[in-house]
Structure 1
Amino acid sequence: MEWFCAYDRRPHWGKKHTLKAKDLRSLYPMWNRFQEIRQHLDPNGIFLTPYLRELLVDE
C-alpha cells in the first residue's frame, strides 16, 4: 500500500482496502466537515459497521 500513498491516490470506496481513518484524513481536504455531517446525521453510530468504524472513526 506504500506505493499507493506515494502517488497521492485515493481508494475506491466500493472496494475493501487497508487504509484506516487516520490514513484517509490526510487524503481528503474536507474530512473534518464530512465527520461533522456524519456525526450530525448518525450521532449514535447506528449505521457504523465494524469495517466502517475502522474507515471513518479516527480514535
Structure 2
Amino acid sequence: MERLFELFYSRRTNGHGVGLYLCKENLAVAHHKIRYSSEGDKKLIEEGANFIISFNGMEIH
C-alpha cells in the first residue's frame, strides 16, 4: 500500500498519480503523516478508500 503515495503511481484508468503524493509531501513539511488504513484500524468507512492522518503534536482523548 505504500506505493499509493509514490509520484506517478496510479491504478485509475485516467489517474496521474500526483494527488496522494502531494498530500503526503505537504503534510510531511510540518511532520504530519498520512497512511492507508488497514483492517486492524478502528472506525473504517465501509466503502471507498480509508486514510489516517496523524497530526504532529496533537492528542485525541
After TM superposition, the score normalised by the length of structure 2 is: 0.27
- The answer to which structure has the higher strand fraction is 2
- The answer to which structure has the higher helix fraction is 1
Query: Which entry has the higher C-alpha Rg, 1 or 2?
Result: 2
After TM superposition, the score normalised by the length of structure 1 is: 0.28
